[in-house]
């Protein structure tokens, strides 16, 4: 793993690339025996990011530099600049301890099942509903995935490099778009009706006009209905 240089994030999973030569060209051998990982060559990533040009840099951190890139929505192969699905490509700093630890976290992350994800959503919604309907109503302004503690050692975190709402909202109303949003790793664990109703609830919660959004009590009711679907 000493030659690992890149992490590519899509909504369906993670791709890795390793550099086996000083020029940075990648071999195409398997890095891990994991079906959810795809190996990209250096030239693939270079093509997806327009040659790692400065204008596609999203940010720089202790792990290295993050670039914006594009891949085909179906094949996940590099696509034309500005066309296809947006991805974040992290070019790791070889001397960065943070970068190596992040790679370990990405490659070793457990996949949460559909049932567990739904349970997290229901329990979270119940907590917010309680705050909103208590005698002294409380509006919790810092509610986000990374603040949901699952157990003593793990919190429910996501690290999007793009705005998830802007990316997902136009996809949710369409059947094909919804398939792109759903995590491919849990395909078969839920019914199409459950996925469709979840998408409708999400869009309802994202209404531009606040008064048109459901209350958290209503959100709980719909989530419980989804849970009962087989």
Q: What is the CATH number of the domain that holds 95?
A: 3.30.200
Is 127 or 157 the better-scoring residue by pLDDT? 127
- Collapsing DSSP to helix, strand or coil, 64 comes out as strand
Query: Are 226 and 197 within 8 A, CB to CB?
Result: yes
> Do residues 32 and 90 share a domain?
yes
User: Buried (b) or exposed (e) across 179-202, using 16+ Cβ within 10 A?
Assistant: ebbbeeeeeeebeeebbbbbbebe
Please report which confidence band the pLDDT of residue 150 belongs to, taking 50, 70 and 90 as the band edges.
low
What pLDDT does 212 receive? 96
Catalytic annotation, residues: 142
**Percentage of the chain exceeding pLDDT 90:** 29
The answer to whether 90 is a known ligand-binding residue is yes
> Do residues 42 and 139 share a domain?
no
pTM, entire model: 0.53
What pLDDT does 199 receive? 96
> Do residues 129 and 55 share a domain?
no
What pLDDT does 34 receive? 44
Take residue 160 and report the two structure tokens written for it. 């999007």
What pLDDT does 82 receive? 78
Question: How far apart, in whole angstroms, are the C-alpha atoms of residue 220 and residue 73?
Answer: 32
Please report which confidence band the pLDDT of residue 222 belongs to, taking 50, 70 and 90 as the band edges.
very high
Please report which confidence band the pLDDT of residue 28 belongs to, taking 50, 70 and 90 as the band edges.
very low
Over 50: is that where the pLDDT of 9 sits?
yes
Q: DSSP character for 62?
A: T
Other Cβ atoms less than 10 A from the Cβ of 156: the count is 16
Over 70: is that where the pLDDT of 6 sits?
no
**Count of domains observed in the chain:** 2
> Do residues 138 and 212 share a domain?
yes
Range of the domain at 159: 114-228
> Do residues 134 and 41 share a domain?
no
> Do residues 208 and 143 share a domain?
yes
Question: How far apart, in whole angstroms, are the C-alpha atoms of residue 74 and residue 141?
Answer: 37
Question: How far apart, in whole angstroms, are the C-alpha atoms of residue 215 and residue 219?
Answer: 6
> Do residues 128 and 29 share a domain?
no
Long-range interactions of 121-126: CB distance < 8 A, separation 24+: 121/223, 122/220, 122/223, 122/224, 122/227, 124/148, 125/216, 125/219, 125/220, 125/223, 126/220
> Do residues 99 and 152 share a domain?
no
Question: Which residues, 6 or more positions from 107, have their beta carbon under 8 angstroms from its beta carbon?
Answer: 14, 16, 32, 34, 37
Task: Give me the helix-helix angle, 216-228 and 114-133, nearest 10°.
Answer: 150
Is 24 or 59 the better-scoring residue by pLDDT? 59
Is 178 or 30 the better-scoring residue by pLDDT? 178
Task: Give the CATH number of the domain where residue 194 resides.
Answer: 1.10.510.10
Is 56 or 32 the better-scoring residue by pLDDT? 56
CA triple 175-179-180, angle to 5 deg: 120
**Of 86, 108, 130, which one is at a domain's C-terminal end?**
108
> Do residues 145 and 61 share a domain?
no
Query: Are 87 and 48 within 8 A, CB to CB?
Result: yes
> Do residues 13 and 73 share a domain?
yes
């Amino acid at each position: 793993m000493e030659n690992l240089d890149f992490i590519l994030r899509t909504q369906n999973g993670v791709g890795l690339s390793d550099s086996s030569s000083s020029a940075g060209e990648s071999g195409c051998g398997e890095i891990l025996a994991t079906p959810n990982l795809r190996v990209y060559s250096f030239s693939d990533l270079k093509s997806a990011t327009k040659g790692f040009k400065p204008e596609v840099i999203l940010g720089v951190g202790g792990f290295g530099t993050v670039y914006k890139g594009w891949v085909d929505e179906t094949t996940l192969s590099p696509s034309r600049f500005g066309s296809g699905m947006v991805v974040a490509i992290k070019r790791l700093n070889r001397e960065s301890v943070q970068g190596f630890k992040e790679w370990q976290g990405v490659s070793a992350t457990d996949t949460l099942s559909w049932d567990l994800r739904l349970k997290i959503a229901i329990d979270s919604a119940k907590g917010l509903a309680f705050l909103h309907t208590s005698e002294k109503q409380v509006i919790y302004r810092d509610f986000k995935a990374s603040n949901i503690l699952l157990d003593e050692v793990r919190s429910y975190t996501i690290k999007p490099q793009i705005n998830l709402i802007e990316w997902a909202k136009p996809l949710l109303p369409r059947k094909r778009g919804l398939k792109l949003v759903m995590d491919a790793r849990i395909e078969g664990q839920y019914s199409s009706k459950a996925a469709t109703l979840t998408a409708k609830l999400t869009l309802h919660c994202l209404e531009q006009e606040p008064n048109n959004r459901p209350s958290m009590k209503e959100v709980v009711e719909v989530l419980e209905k989804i849970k009962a679907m087989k």
